[in-house]
Structure 1
Amino acid sequence: MAYRLRPSEPFTAEFCSVARQQLSKAISYLEDQPDGPHEAIHDARKRFKRIRSLYRLIQPDAPDFRRQENARIRDIARQLSSVRDATALVGTVTYLADFAASPEEKTALETARTTLTARRDRIAAEEHDLPAKITSAIEGCREAIDALDALNLSDTPRKTAKHLGKAWRKQLAKAHAAVRECEKQGGAESYHELRKSGQAYWMHLSLLREIWPSAMQAKQNECKTLVDLLGHEHDLSVLTELADKEPSLFGSGDRLARLLAAIINRQQTLRRDAMEKAQGLLAERPAEEAALITLLWERAAGTSSGKTNRNAAEPRKAEEESALRGAR
C-alpha cells in the first residue's frame, strides 16, 4: 500500500491502514537489518517522520490521540539518533568538498572528513546499548500499532474534509510563519523550522494526492527541491555547531577557518535558493489552499461513496471552479 489516503475508502480504516503499514515497515527494518543496524535505523527514522506527518492531519478530529502518539514516535526516534547523526556529518563534509573554492579548502575538508569518520566510528563502538535501544523501539512501534485499535475518526465526507482542511491550513500557516522568520531573522533555527514545515507539506501532498493527482504531484516535486536545499542547509548548521563546541577536532586554526569559510559560502547560496523556492511554492494563502483541499476531498469522497448531494453541491460549484483556477 502506498503512502496515501484514498478518499474512496472509509477514513478511519484508511488512516489506520496507512499508519500500521508505516509502523510495520519500521519494525521490519529494525528487525531484519539487511544493511546493518545503522542503515536500518536511518530507514526506520524516515518512516517515523511519515507517521508523525500523517498524525498531524487528524489533529482537529483527535487531538489527544495525536498528541500522545506523536510524543511516542518522537521519543522512539530520538533514542536511535546518536550514530546516525554522526554519520550524517561525514556526508556533510563530503557534500561540501564538491564546492571547495580552492585546493587548500578542499584539503581542509578532506581532513575534516577523516576526523569525522573516526568520530563516528568511536561513537558507534561506544554505543554498547544499541541492541537494547532497537528492541525498545520495536516494542514502542508495536504499542503504537495497538493504540490505533481505539481510534475513531469522522467518516462522513463533509466532516473529514472539514478536518483535513483545518489541519492543512494550520500546517501551511506554520510554513508561512517560518518563511517570515527566515526573512526577518535569517538564523539557523528559522531555516530549520522551514525545513520541518517543508517536510510535512511534502508528505501531506503525497497523502492527499488522489484528490488532484497532477497538481499535487507538481507541487510535491517543487517541495522536494525545497526540502533537499534546506536539508543541506541544516546539515551545515549542525556542522558549524560542532565546530564551535569542539574546534580542536578540526586541527589548526587555519584548517578550521577554511572549513568555516566553506560552510558560510555554501550556506548563503542554499539559503538564497531555498527562499526563492519557498516563496514560489507558498504563494497561495493558507486559507485559500485549505479551502481548496476541503472542496476536493469532499467531492472525491462523496463521488466515490455515491453520497454526493447534487442540490447541496450546486451552490459550491462556482466557488470550487474559482479555487481551481487560482491553484493552476
Structure 2
Amino acid sequence: MPFRIRPDHSFTAEFRKAAAGQMSHAIRTLEERPEGKHEAIHAFRKNLKRVRSLYRLVASEVPEFRERENARLRDLAMLLSAIRDATALIETVGYLKTTARNAAEAKALGRIVAALESRRDHMAEAEADIDGKLTEAPGILRDAIAAVEAVHFNGGPRRNARLVAKGWRDTTSKARKAIEHCRAEASAETFHTLRKRAQDYRAYQRLLRPLWPAAMKAKYEVTSSLIDLLGHIHDLDVLCALVEAEPQHFPNADDLARLLDAIIFRQQEDRRAALERAEDVFGDDPQEEADRIELLWRAQVS
C-alpha cells in the first residue's frame, strides 16, 4: 500500500491508512519471511521508521498518542535489533573492502568480515528466543494498528495544512541545527541525529508526494543519497565501539590496525561528503519551505 497522504481526502482516513499500511506490511513480512529471518527483521524495522516519522509529523496535534505509540514502536524495534545490527557490521566492513586503498588492506578486511560473520552466527545460536520474539511482534503491531484507528483529526483543510507545514518546518529546523552541531564537534551522536532528521524528511517527501510529484521525487532521491552516507558513518561508529568493547573478535593485530586505519580514513571522507550533501538537501529556509508546503496543500483542497 502506498505511503501517501492526499490533501483532498479525509486527513484522519489518510493518516490511518498510511500508518496501518506500513504496520500491516511489517506483520506479513515477519510472519512469511520471504527472504529469510534477517531480511524480514530489516524490512520490518524500515516500516516502523516510516510510521514513527509520520507520528512526528502530526505530533503537535496528537502529542500523547505520538509519545505513547512512538515508545511502543521504538521498544519493539529494539527487541529485534541485535542480530540485524550484527549483520549491518558485516555489510559495513564489506563497504570498507570495496573502497580499500591496496590489496593488503582488502585481504585484511576480508578476514575481518569472516570474523564478524562468525560472531553473528554465534549470536544467532545464543539468542534462542529470537523466534519467540518474531512470533510476539505481530501481536504488538496489531495493538498499534488498533491505537491508530482511535485517532481523529478534527480540523478542516486549513488547519491540516498548517499541521503538516509545522511538522515539515520543525524537522528541517532540527536538521539545520544538527548540521551546525556536526560542524562544531563531529561526534557520532551529532551525525546520528542528522541521520534521523534526514530519514524523517525523506518520509515526508514520500508521504506528501501528491502535493508536487516531480519535485518531491527529486528531493527524495537526493535525500536518500545523504541518508546512505550518514548510514555508513553511523555503522562505522558502531564498528569502532565494537572493536573497543569486544577486542577478542580481532586477534590479528595487523588486521585490526588496518581495519582502524580504514575506518578513520572512510569516516573523514564520508563526513565531509555528508555535510556537503546536507547543505544541498537542507539549503532552503525552513519557514519558506513550510509556507510552500502549506500553499501547495491548500491549493489542492480549495
**Pair in the same fold by TM > 0.5:** yes
Match of 1:273 in 2: 273
Match of 2:84 in 1: 84
Once the two structures are overlaid, the 10-residue window that deviates more, 241-250 or 12-21, is: 241-250
1:268 Cα deviation (Å)?
1.0
Alignment coverage as a number of residue pairs: 302
Please give the TM-score of this superposition, normalised by the length of structure 2. Answer: 0.97
What are the superposed Cα offsets for residues 35-80 of structure 1, whole Å, 9 maximum, x if unpaired? Answer: 2222111111110011101111111111111111111111110000
- Residue 145 (structure 2) pairs with residue 140 (structure 1): no
Q: Secondary structure at the match of 1:150?
A: coil
Structure 2 residues without counterparts, runs of 5 or longer: none
Larger radius of gyration: 1
What are the superposed Cα offsets for residues 17-52 of structure 1, whole Å, 9 maximum, x if unpaired? Answer: 111111100000111112222211111111001110
1:188 Cα deviation (Å)?
1.3
Match of 2:285 in 1: 285
Question: Structure 2 CA distance, aligned partners of 1:91 and 1:278?
Answer: 24
8 Å Cα contact 1:90-1:117 kept in structure 2: yes
Match of 2:196 in 1: 196
1:167 Cα deviation (Å)?
1.1
1:168 Cα deviation (Å)?
1.0
Matching of residues 281-320 of structure 1 within 5 Å? 281-300=281-300, 302=301, 308=302
1:182 Cα deviation (Å)?
0.6
What are the superposed Cα offsets for residues 107-131 of structure 1, whole Å, 9 maximum, x if unpaired? Answer: 2101110100000000001111112
Match of 1:212 in 2: 212
Q: Secondary structure at the match of 2:5?
A: coil
1:155 Cα deviation (Å)?
4.4
- Residue 263 (structure 2) pairs with residue 263 (structure 1): yes
Match of 1:245 in 2: 245
1:232 Cα deviation (Å)?
1.0
Match of 1:156 in 2: 156
Structure 1 residues without counterparts, runs of 5 or longer: 303-307, 309-328
Matched residue type, 2:34: P
**Stretches (4+) displaced over 6 A:** none
Once the two structures are overlaid, the 10-residue window that deviates more, 246-255 or 107-116, is: 246-255
What are the superposed Cα offsets for residues 236-275 of structure 1, whole Å, 9 maximum, x if unpaired? Answer: 1111111111223112322211100011111111111111
Matching of residues 114-125 of structure 1 within 5 Å? 114-125=114-125
Match of 1:14 in 2: 14
Match of 2:235 in 1: 235
Question: Structure 1 CA distance, aligned partners of 2:247 and 2:8?
Answer: 56
Matched residue type, 1:148: V
1:189 Cα deviation (Å)?
1.1
Question: Structure 1 CA distance, aligned partners of 2:154 and 2:264?
Answer: 49
Please give the TM-score of this superposition, normalised by the length of structure 1. Answer: 0.90
Match of 1:311 in 2: none
Match of 2:180 in 1: 180
Question: Structure 2 CA distance, aligned partners of 1:155 and 1:18?
Answer: 18
Matching of residues 96-135 of structure 1 within 5 Å? 96-135=96-135
What are the superposed Cα offsets for residues 90-110 of structure 1, whole Å, 9 maximum, x if unpaired? Answer: 111111101111222112101
Matched residue type, 1:197: R
Question: Structure 1 CA distance, aligned partners of 2:203 and 2:154?
Answer: 21
- Residue 27 (structure 2) pairs with residue 27 (structure 1): yes
Question: Structure 1 CA distance, aligned partners of 2:280 and 2:111?
Answer: 39
8 Å Cα contact 1:61-1:154 kept in structure 2: no
8 Å Cα contact 1:5-1:15 kept in structure 2: yes
Matched residue type, 2:238: V
Identical pairs, percent: 47
**CA RMSD, Structure 1 to Structure 2 (Å):** 1.1
- Residue 66 (structure 2) pairs with residue 66 (structure 1): yes
8 Å Cα contact 2:119-2:249 kept in structure 1: no
Matched residue type, 1:256: L
Question: Structure 2 CA distance, aligned partners of 1:41 and 1:248?
Answer: 27
Question: Structure 2 CA distance, aligned partners of 1:245 and 1:82?
Answer: 15
Match of 1:41 in 2: 41
